[in-house]
Structure 1
Amino acid sequence: MSDKQKQATAYWKENVKYLFILLAIWFLVSYGAGILFKDALDSIKIGGFKLGFWFAQQGSIYVFVILIFVYVRLMNKLDKKYGYDE
């Protein structure tokens, strides 16, 4: 295997690792906080709404948008690390 192929393989391994971590966070927030842990989170209120309801309706969307920006930043760093930046 050439050096360029090893570099490309390492790049994609790191990329997939980032994807799995970010998707796990999104799953925990959207499914976990919105459905599984809703009853426990409902004891806390934000702006008059129960926290479990808030996560199910708005919080998971906010977290998803934040994760998009985190992914862009991580990919920019990864591109620079492996020399794929423009």
Structure 2
Amino acid sequence: MSEKQKHATAYWKKNLSYLIILLTIWFLVSYGAGILFKEELNNIKLGGFKLGFWFAQQGSIYVFVILIFVYVRLMNKLDKKFGFDE
């Protein structure tokens, strides 16, 4: 395998690791907080609403949007590290 191919393979492995980590966080927040841990979270109130309900309705969307910005930042750093930036 050429040096360029090794470079590109390392880039994609790191990219996939970022995706797996970020999607796992999103899954834990949306499914875990909204469904699995709903009863425990409902003991806490946020803006007059139970926290489990809030995560199921709003929280997972906010976390997803934040994760998009985190992914963009990580990918910009990764692109610079591997020389794929414009």
TM-score w.r.t. length of structure 2: 0.99
Distance in 1 between the 2:13 and 2:38 partners? 34
User: Where do residues 1-86 of structure 1 align in structure 2 (5 Å cutoff)?
Assistant: 1-86=1-86
Counterpart CA distance in 1 for 2:54 and 2:15 is: 31
RMSD (Å), alpha carbons: 0.3
Find runs of 4+ consecutive structure 1 residues off by over 6 angstroms: none
Q: In the alignment, residue 70 of structure 1 is paired with which amino acid? A: V
Alpha-carbon distance in structure 1 between the residues aligned to 2:13 and 2:78:
11
Q: % of aligned pairs identical?
A: 84
TM-score, length-scaled by structure 1 = 0.99
Structure 2 letter corresponding to 1:46: L
Could you list the per-position Cα deviations for residues 6-58 of structure 1 after superposition, in whole angstroms to 9, with x for gaps in the alignment?
A: 00000000000000000000000000000000000000000100000000000
User: Number of paired residues?
Assistant: 86
* Structure 1 runs not aligned, ≥5 long: none
| Shift in Å, 1:72 | 0.2
- Structure 2: gaps of 5 or more residues: none
